């Protein structure tokens, strides 16, 4: 069974949900109900709002329809006919009117009909392993000026085992929700005074700084140059880049001396102003411009979700400015860098998609072909499997998308490598070729983490809070059996710190068992326990988070072990 089949199953599950709702609450207006990577949802406009208590009832009705094993059929009908069928539903009417062509798809199961482009299973009997999970708010066309809808979401699988595994994983995921871990480990918080804007506590800030330092060093080794561009730039610039036209609902605007400005939602225009500061020669290319750029993007308050969805975040942005002939090599290097980084962070399993030319793309077919070929070749030469996401590229160029798999089997879209023909035109980027002629470079937008804040959230969930030694805010906790060893412990602490280790020594007089428990709750990778014997022999006991211990180690041995943990 592949992803396409699962998508069909889940899309059909959405229809099943809609049918059940319609049978129970006939006046409810249906809108849309797609499959998602986690399951499916359907957005409704009910006469009376649903509550979480209604879900079992709806599920029961769904199972009744499953029992009937109704066949699912699909056919094309004229728009006129469709408008008649859905004459009492303004949402479907709007959808029908906006669809291209003269006909639209209609799916049917029993006496239930829905507007649908197709892609279903055979009959409702295949939908035994369906589970409703949540009710949330949504807006028609995700536009808060339009109707407020209710979204019921659920999931569906082909087998009972898959469904059970999923629900177990979901429960586990809830237990290791990064928002919960962030609080327990004192890493970050949110406050009413800045909704969607994270506050990083000292330990969270240490991890953020580690993420920056790790990538800064890696990028430096690989010939990147780091720049810093302003957070506020003129409205005019955002019109030039097209962000104003396409993205203004997600941007924050302000006035300076009565002229309009915006907080940057992306770092590209700033980088291009820097590039255009002076003329460039082909000898300088490829130019790899990196920026840890803080961007602000408006999100509806309802979709804010811990560090995963915020209104301000830091992109590990880079713009690779190169000639079309350098493109393939640049992309290949970027793939390697990206995969190395994921591996270092413990993500060995990565899925890759290549999104190709959509309709209404800009740029010539030849350019697109060259760029898509460059991306595909780079992936193939790197020995990577990938799926072609036909027509899913941006209008300005094709892209590679990286999805990392976490320890709970979930996929997270993180990195992208995006070829861009558009902005080099818009910003009139040029270089002087060896011929002496002005030429237009290609730009590759690239991010590995994507958002540093979100990547931190992913790391927390992936490791269930137990960050590896090199990423732990406190790596080592020194603890004494009795206060008699405090002086010895202080001398150990000093040496650890002198070696650049993030170590701590809690000077309270608790029982050693209580100290160990506290360090475990803090998820500190290593404890160095010292008692009278250790002090006498000038050694320590190294105790790992999982309880394993190594006795009688010299501090130098600990330092070597610590060094071996570094990336």
For residue 530, give the DSSP letter: E
For residue 495, how many C-alpha atoms fall within 13 Å in the half-sphere facing its CB? 17
Pick the binder of a copy of itself from 53, 111, 171, 277 (CB under 8 A). Answer: 277
Pick the binder of a copy of itself from 63, 89, 234, 323 (CB under 8 A). Answer: 234
- Considering only residues 97-116, where is the footprint of a copy of itself by CB under 8 A? none
For residue 488, how many C-alpha atoms fall within 13 Å in the half-sphere facing its CB? 21
Pick the closer one to a copy of itself by CB: 26 or 436. Answer: 436
- Is 495 in a helix, a strand, or coil? helix
Pick the binder of a copy of itself from 79, 298, 305, 426 (CB under 8 A). Answer: 298
Pick the closer one to a copy of itself by CB: 231 or 384. Answer: 231
CB atoms within 10 A of CB 245: 9
Asked whether the bond before 15 is cis by omega within 30 degrees of 0, the reply is: no
The 10 Å CB-count burial string (b at 16+, else e) for 342-377 is beebebeebbbbbbbbeeebebeeebbebbbebbbe
The distance of closest approach from Cβ of residue 145 to a copy of itself in the complex, given in angstroms and rounded to an integer, is 12
Separation of alpha carbons 318 and 361, rounded Å? 23
The distance of closest approach from Cβ of residue 477 to a copy of itself in the complex, given in angstroms and rounded to an integer, is 17
- Is 480 in a helix, a strand, or coil? strand
Q: Where are the beta strands (DSSP E) in 164-207?
A: 188-189, 199-200
For position 505 contacting a copy of itself by CB under 8 A, the verdict is: no
The distance of closest approach from Cβ of residue 507 to a copy of itself in the complex, given in angstroms and rounded to an integer, is 10
Pick the binder of a copy of itself from 142, 254, 303, 388 (CB under 8 A). Answer: 254
Pick the closer one to a copy of itself by CB: 157 or 238. Answer: 238
- Give burial (CB, 10 Å; 0-12/13-18/19+) of 254: exposed
For position 446 contacting a copy of itself by CB under 8 A, the verdict is: no
The distance of closest approach from Cβ of residue 152 to a copy of itself in the complex, given in angstroms and rounded to an integer, is 26
- Is 297 in a helix, a strand, or coil? coil
Pick the binder of a copy of itself from 102, 257, 258, 366 (CB under 8 A). Answer: 257
For position 258 contacting a copy of itself by CB under 8 A, the verdict is: no
Pick the binder of a copy of itself from 85, 95, 218, 233 (CB under 8 A). Answer: 233
Pick the binder of a copy of itself from 37, 301, 381, 549 (CB under 8 A). Answer: 301
Separation of alpha carbons 362 and 423, rounded Å? 11
The distance of closest approach from Cβ of residue 165 to a copy of itself in the complex, given in angstroms and rounded to an integer, is 37
Separation of alpha carbons 55 and 143, rounded Å? 26
For position 249 contacting a copy of itself by CB under 8 A, the verdict is: no
Compute CA distances 479 → 46, 420, 490, 531, 567, whole Å. 60, 55, 10, 9, 26
Pick the closer one to a copy of itself by CB: 103 or 209. Answer: 209
Pick the binder of a copy of itself from 296, 297, 446, 477 (CB under 8 A). Answer: 296
Compute CA distances 238 → 233, 260, 268, 347, whole Å. 8, 11, 10, 36
Q: Which residues lie across from 157 on neighbouring strands?
A: 129
- Is 404 in a helix, a strand, or coil? strand
The distance of closest approach from Cβ of residue 274 to a copy of itself in the complex, given in angstroms and rounded to an integer, is 5
Pick the closer one to a copy of itself by CB: 270 or 398. Answer: 270
For position 294 contacting a copy of itself by CB under 8 A, the verdict is: yes
For position 483 contacting a copy of itself by CB under 8 A, the verdict is: no
- Considering only residues 156-215, where is the footprint of a copy of itself by CB under 8 A? 189, 191-195, 197-202, 204-206, 208-209
Separation of alpha carbons 97 and 301, rounded Å? 31
Query: Which region, judged by CB under 8 A, interacts with a copy of itself, from 40-48, 62-70, 222-230, 550-558?
Result: 222-230
**Binding residues for a copy of itself, total number by CB under 8 A:** 48
Pick the binder of a copy of itself from 83, 95, 163, 273 (CB under 8 A). Answer: 273
The distance of closest approach from Cβ of residue 186 to a copy of itself in the complex, given in angstroms and rounded to an integer, is 8
Pick the closer one to a copy of itself by CB: 6 or 304. Answer: 304
For position 231 contacting a copy of itself by CB under 8 A, the verdict is: yes
Q: Where are the beta strands (DSSP E) in 80-193?
A: 103-109, 112-115, 129-139, 148-157, 188-189
For position 229 contacting a copy of itself by CB under 8 A, the verdict is: yes
The distance of closest approach from Cβ of residue 63 to a copy of itself in the complex, given in angstroms and rounded to an integer, is 41
Which residues 6+ apart lie within 8 Å of 65 measured at CB? 16, 19, 20, 23, 109, 110, 124
For position 279 contacting a copy of itself by CB under 8 A, the verdict is: no
For position 225 contacting a copy of itself by CB under 8 A, the verdict is: yes
Phi-psi region of 523 (alpha: psi -120 to 50; beta: other; left: phi over 0): left
Contacts to a copy of itself by CB under 8 A: 189, 191-195, 197-202, 204-206, 208-209, 216, 225-234, 236-237, 252-254, 256-257, 263, 269-270, 273-274, 277, 289, 294, 296, 298, 301, 311-312
């Amino acid at each position: 069974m592949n992803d396409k089949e699962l998508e069909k199953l889940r899309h059909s599950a959405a229809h099943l949900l809609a049918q059940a709702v319609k049978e129970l609450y006939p006046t409810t207006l249906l809108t849309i109900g797609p499959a998602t990577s986690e399951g499916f949802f359907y957005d409704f406009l009910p006469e009376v709002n649903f509550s979480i208590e209604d879900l079992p009832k709806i599920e029961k009705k769904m199972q009744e329809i499953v029992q009937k094993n109704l066949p699912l059929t699909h056919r094309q009908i004229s728009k006129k006919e469709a408008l008649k069928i859905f004459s009492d539903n303004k949402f479907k009417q709007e959808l029908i009117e906006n669809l291209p062509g003269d006909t639209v798809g209609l799916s049917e199961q029993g006496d239930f009909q829905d507007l649908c482009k197709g892609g279903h299973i055979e009959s409702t009997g295949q939908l035994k392993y369906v589970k409703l999970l949540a009710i949330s708010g949504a807006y028609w066309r995700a536009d808060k000026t339009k109707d407020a809808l209710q979204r019921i979401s659920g999931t569906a699988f082909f087998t009972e085992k898959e469904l059970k595994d999923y629900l177990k994983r979901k429960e586990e995921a809830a237990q290791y929700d990064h928002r919960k871990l962030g609080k327990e480990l004192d890493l970050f918080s949110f406050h009413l005074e800045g909704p969607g804007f994270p506050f990083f506590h000292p330990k969270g800030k240490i991890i953020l700084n580690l993420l920056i330092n790790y990538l800064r060093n890696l990028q430096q080794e690989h010939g990147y140059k780091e720049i810093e561009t302003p957070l506020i730039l003129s409205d005019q610039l955002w019109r030039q880049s097209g962000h104003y036209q396409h993205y203004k609902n997600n941007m924050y605007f302000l006035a300076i001396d009565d002229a309009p400005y915006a907080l940057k939602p992306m770092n590209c225009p700033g980088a291009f102003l820097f590039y255009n500061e002076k003329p460039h020669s082909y000898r300088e290319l490829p130019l790899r411009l990196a920026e840890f750029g803080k961007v602000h993007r408006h999100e509806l308050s309802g979709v804010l979700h811990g560090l995963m969805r915020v209104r301000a975040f830091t992109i590990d942005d880079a713009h690779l400015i190169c000639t079309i002939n350098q493109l393939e090599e640049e992309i290949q290097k970027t793939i390697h860098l990206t995969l190395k980084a994921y591996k270092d962070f413990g993500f060995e399993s990565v899925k890759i998609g290549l999104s190709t030319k959509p309709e209404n793309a800009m740029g010539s077919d030849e350019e697109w072909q060259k760029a898509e070929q460059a991306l595909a070749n780079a992936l193939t030469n790197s020995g990577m499997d990938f799926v072609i996401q036909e027509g899913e590229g941006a209008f300005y160029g094709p892209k590679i998308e990286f999805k990392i798999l976490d320890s709970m089997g979930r996929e997270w879209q993180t990195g992208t490598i995006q070829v861009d023909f558009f902005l080099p035109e818009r910003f009139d980027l040029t270089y002087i070729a060896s011929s002496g002629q002005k030429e237009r470079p290609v730009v590759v937008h690239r991010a590995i983490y994507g958002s540093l804040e979100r990547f931190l959230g992913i790391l927390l969930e992936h490791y269930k809070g137990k960050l590896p030694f090199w990423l732990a805010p406190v790596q080592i906790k020194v603890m004494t059996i009795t206060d008699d060893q405090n002086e010895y412990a202080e001398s150990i602490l000093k040496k650890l710190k002198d070696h650049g280790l993030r170590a701590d020594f809690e000077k309270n007089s608790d029982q050693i068992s209580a100290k160990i428990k506290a360090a475990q709750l803090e998820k500190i990778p290593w404890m160095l326990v010292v008692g009278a014997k250790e002090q006498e022999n000038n050694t320590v006991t190294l105790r790992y988070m999982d309880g394993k211990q190594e006795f009688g180690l010299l501090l130098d041995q600990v330092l070597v072990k610590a060094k071996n943990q570094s990336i």
